[in-house]
């Protein structure tokens, strides 16, 4: 049965189908190229900074306040004492790790009153960008004579290693070199990574996750999606492993926070690390996503969500264990639904086909272009046809088979089993055992076997019934003969007999391994995992790898051809988890005919949703209601209202979570945390009428920290402003000079006016 939260989502989703009129700004731009590509347009939209103020290697700039948070989100420095702001859902895993039934920080929130109470998070990092460099020539050197793609890639990897070492030799920095435009260009990012990042504060989930799955990807939104961490450094303000002796990091720049808020038409900029987009896919690729991949993945995840939802409601222990997992599963599930809807609404497949027809005509008009690009579209068609049956099988292996936790756990023991079978040196075995012991400890902390058993039966049954028998792994033949295709009975047997169903069982397997005994190979969960993995390796991966290698070459040529054909167009590279800038303006939009959404939400909307009766997603703390009823907003409210969220026309994607929303003066005005559901297809095709990024208003963040949590000591270390102060010396100096000149000009005008008046009277 579909849960209440899922039914509520669909009710809202179907209501929001329609057309819109706003025109967002497309693109995720490289900071080092803003001067030549974007500065003029950004200033026309109202920006008062220069490209050098945003990205510079010669002086402090906005980039010095931006961090890659854990490699999966973005964060920003908001104090001179290393205070880092990101999303609640980005810090959720850390909050969960510190939560127990007795100290339920997920439900109650957490606020460190002193530095000593700030909680360390092993493995969590904060990475700053020191500088960027175009290294295309160095990386592509020697590739001209490569006979195969493999030879070319081998040369590129050697060059990357050489250039990286030369750039970081003698420093504590790292180098990241990534391909752009499908390998037509390469850029290097020199990075500095801090490894001591401590949890400082997080609101209760009833604020940080307010709206839950019902509101996910939707607007209007009322979520206080933020959390606070602090970056610590060792001697000389440099990165160091965790130590009680470490001191708060002193950043080169931290963002001042504006108390002036936002208005419609205001310039906005998103600075962060967007994860992955595929804006230049061909029509065949989009069609495969729309018709094959997304529908099946949506069904698999919905099945899993319904099972977990029921078990989480029945047990607080299960709820805490599966909170982060559920959120992660639901996030992609809902995104894929919106993505398919957006692809259809934008008529994306037909638009791609139109572009391909234009490209074909352009190629046909010139003999040299025919020689270079003549068979490109035919090759695309040939390779995507080769993926028939492969893509869907791969999706079921990843989402259904390895979507079962016990199967994924057992698969992680493959290397150890191989070492035991080969009678490898005991030192190698012991090293692998040690890794798995640490992994198993974390794994079983958030595991519930009865829930996984239900997921096992449901997901493997979907795999069995929805994939052609000719593409089944060998283990399914055994299920067919022994269990008559009944995966509930199969699940009963596996969970009764497998050591991987319990922490004690895994502990015993690892103890046997230290004695050289293989208790893994005949385990039923391992047999299942091995059968699926073997089938993938032997029947799916070869074709999938070959086709994608072919497609890499084809897309590189296609990208070069498009840029050659459309020389009047400014192209931006797909997101690849590197630092980017997106910009737009604060503006409303129309999701359906006759309905226009405002660009902002307030605390009143929180109270209205709380009164709607959907208690699980719209429950609120009593203190928040009390503050609302008293209108006790402090200096953070405006005109009797408490702003909560706003939307703008910035192009964002996953990885931009936690990115600062920066105004025309370089001040923090919000934190990006989502996109509207109408715009989730923007990873594949950009519909300018629909895309909006959703942010929590910085004033709501301050209100929750100060008035709700009583953590005013954290606000005191921030820089709150009501004027144009940017915190960048060069910008503030220009502003002061401009103010002086303006005052001088006004004084001169008054003086001249007085003289004219006296002369006239005389």
Share in percent of the chain as helix, strand, coil (round to 5)? 55, 15, 30
Distance CA 65, CA 72 (A): 17
What are 77's strand-pairing partners? 84
Residues with Cβ within 8 Å of 11's Cβ and at least 6 positions away in sequence, in order, are none
Distance CA 160, CA 157 (A): 5
Which listed residue (213, 225, 452, 574) is catalytic? Answer: 225
Distance CA 492, CA 482 (A): 13
Per DSSP, the three-state class of 153 is helix
Distance CA 121, CA 415 (A): 28
Distance CA 136, CA 695 (A): 35
Using CB atoms within 10 Å of the CB of residue 565, give its burial: 0 to 12 exposed, 13 to 18 middle, 19+ buried: middle
Distance CA 278, CA 682 (A): 9
Whether 666 and 731 have beta carbons less than 8 Å apart is answered as yes
Per DSSP, the three-state class of 484 is coil
Which of 208, 184, 173, 188 is CA-nearest to residue 88? 208
User: 3-state secondary structure string, 1-50?
Assistant: CCCHHHHHHHHHHHHCCCCCCCCCCCCCECHHHHHHHCHHHHHHCCCCCC
List the structure tokens of 16.
């929001």
| DSSP single-letter state for residue 398 | I
List the structure tokens of 327.
């959120």
Report the relative pairing of strands 73-77 and 83-86 from DSSP bridges.
antiparallel
Which listed residue (64, 68, 89, 283) is catalytic? Answer: 89
Which of 585, 612, 723, 504 is CA-nearest to residue 211? 612
Which of 454, 441, 438 is CA-nearest to residue 405? 454
Q: How far is CA 529 from CA 97, 113, 211, 244, 249, in A?
A: 28, 47, 37, 43, 45
Distance CA 21, CA 592 (A): 10
Q: How far is CA 335 from CA 19, 213, 392, 653, 745, in A?
A: 19, 11, 19, 11, 55
List the structure tokens of 73.
């989100």
DSSP H stretches of helix in 315-347:
316-345
Task: Say how many C-beta atoms besides its own lie within 10 A of residue 570's C-beta.
Answer: 13
List the structure tokens of 152.
């070319």
Task: Say how many C-beta atoms besides its own lie within 10 A of residue 378's C-beta.
Answer: 10
CA dihedral of residues 566, 570, 575, 576 (deg, nearest 10): 80
Q: Is 89 a catalytic residue?
A: yes
What are 343's strand-pairing partners? none
Which listed residue (94, 293, 657, 682) is catalytic? Answer: 657
List the structure tokens of 685.
């095709």
Distance CA 138, CA 336 (A): 39
Q: Is 253 a catalytic residue?
A: no
Q: Is 713 a catalytic residue?
A: no
Which of 34, 181, 44 is CA-nearest to residue 584? 44
Strand locations in 112-155, DSSP E?
Answer: 119-120, 126-134
Query: What are the backbone angles phi and psi of residue 366, rounded to the nearest 5°?
Result: -145, 130
Distance CA 316, CA 99 (A): 12
Residues with catalytic annotation? Answer: 89, 225, 657
């Amino acid at each position: 049965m579909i849960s209440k939260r899922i039914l509520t989502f669909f009710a809202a989703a179907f209501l929001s189908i329609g057309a819109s009129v706003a025109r967002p700004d497309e693109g995720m731009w490289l900071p080092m190229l803003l001067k030549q590509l974007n500065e003029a347009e950004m200033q026309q939209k109202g920006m008062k900074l220069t490209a050098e103020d945003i990205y510079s290697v010669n002086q402090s700039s906005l980039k010095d306040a931006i961090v890659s948070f854990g490699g999966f989100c973005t964060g920003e420095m908001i104090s001179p004492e290393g205070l880092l702001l990101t999303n609640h859902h980005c810090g959720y895993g850390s909050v969960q790790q510190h939560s127990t039934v007795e100290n339920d920080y997920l439900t109650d929130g957490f606020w460190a009153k002193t530095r000593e109470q700030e909680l360390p998070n092993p493995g969590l990092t904060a990475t700053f960008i020191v500088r960027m460099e175009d290294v295309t020539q160095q990386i592509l050197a020697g590739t001209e004579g490569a006979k195969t793609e493999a030879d070319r890639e081998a040369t590129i990897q050697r060059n990357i290693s050489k250039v990286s070492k030369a750039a970081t030799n003698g420093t504590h920095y790292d180098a990241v070199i990534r391909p752009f435009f499908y390998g037509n260009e390469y850029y290097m990012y020199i990075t500095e990574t801090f490894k001591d990042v401590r949890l400082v504060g997080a609101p209760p989930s009833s604020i940080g996750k307010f709206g839950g799955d019902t509101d996910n990807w939707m607007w209007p939104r009322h979520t206080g999606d933020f959390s606070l961490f602090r970056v610590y450094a060792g001697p000389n303000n440099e990165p160091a492993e965790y130590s009680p002796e470490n001191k708060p990091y002193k950043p080169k720049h931290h963002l001042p926070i504006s108390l002036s808020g936002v208005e419609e038409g205001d310039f906005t900029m998103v600075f962060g690390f967007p994860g992955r987009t595929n804006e230049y896919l061909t029509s065949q690729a989009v069609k495969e996503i729309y018709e094959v991949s997304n529908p099946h993945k949506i069904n698999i995840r919905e099945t899993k969500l319904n099972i977990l939802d029921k078990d989480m409601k029945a047990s607080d222990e299960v709820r805490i264990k599966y909170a982060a997992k559920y959120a992660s599963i639901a996030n992609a599930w809902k995104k894929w639904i919106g993505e398919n809807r957006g692809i259809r609404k934008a008529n994306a497949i037909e638009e791609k086909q139109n572009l391909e027809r234009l490209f074909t005509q352009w190629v046909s008009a010139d003999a040299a272009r025919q020689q270079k690009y003549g068979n490109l579209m035919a090759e695309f068609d040939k390779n995507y046809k080769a993926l028939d049956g492969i893509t869907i099988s791969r999706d079921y292996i990843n989402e259904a088979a390895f979507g079962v936790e016990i199967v994924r756990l057992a698969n992680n023991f493959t290397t150890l089993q191989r070492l035991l079978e080969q009678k490898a040196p005991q030192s190698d075995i012991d090293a692998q055992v040690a890794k798995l012991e640490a992994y198993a400890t974390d794994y079983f902390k958030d595991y519930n076997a009865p829930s996984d058993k239900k997921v096992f039966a449901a997901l493997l049954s979907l795999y069995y019934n929805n994939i052609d028998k000719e593409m089944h792994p060998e283990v399914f033949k055994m299920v067919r003969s022994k269990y008559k295709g009944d995966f509930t009975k199969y699940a009963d047997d596996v969970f009764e007999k497998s050591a991987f169903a319990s922490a004690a069982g895994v502990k015993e397997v690892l103890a046997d391994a230290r004695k050289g005994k293989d208790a893994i190979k005949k385990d039923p969960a391992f047999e299942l995992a091995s059968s699926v993995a073997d089938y993938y390796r032997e029947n799916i991966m070869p074709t999938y790898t070959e086709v994608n290698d072919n497609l890499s070459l084809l897309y590189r040529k296609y990208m070069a051809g498009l840029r050659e054909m459309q020389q009047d167009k400014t192209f931006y590279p797909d997101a690849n988890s590197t630092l980017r800038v997106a910009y737009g303006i604060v503006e409303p939009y129309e999701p359906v005919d006759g309905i226009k959404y405002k660009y902002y939400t307030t605390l009143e909307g929180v109270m209205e949703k709380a009164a709607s009766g959907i208690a699980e997603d719209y429950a609120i703390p009593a203190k928040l209601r009390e503050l609302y009823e008293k209108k006790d907003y402090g200096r953070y409210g405006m005109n009797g209202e408490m702003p909560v969220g706003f939307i703008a026309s910035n192009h964002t994607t996953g990885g931009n979570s936690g990115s600062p929303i920066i105004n025309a003066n370089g001040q923090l005005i919000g934190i990006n945390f989502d996109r509207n559901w109408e715009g989730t297809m923007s990873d594949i095709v950009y519909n300018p009428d629909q895309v909006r990024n959703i942010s929590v208003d910085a004033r709501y963040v301050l209100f929750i920290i100060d008035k709700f949590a009583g953590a005013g000591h954290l606000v005191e270390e921030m820089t709150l402003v009501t004027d144009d102060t940017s915190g960048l010396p060069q910008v503030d100096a220009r502003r002061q000079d401009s103010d002086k000149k303006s005052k001088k000009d006004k004084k001169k005008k008054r003086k001249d006016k007085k003289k004219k008046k006296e002369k006239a009277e005389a």
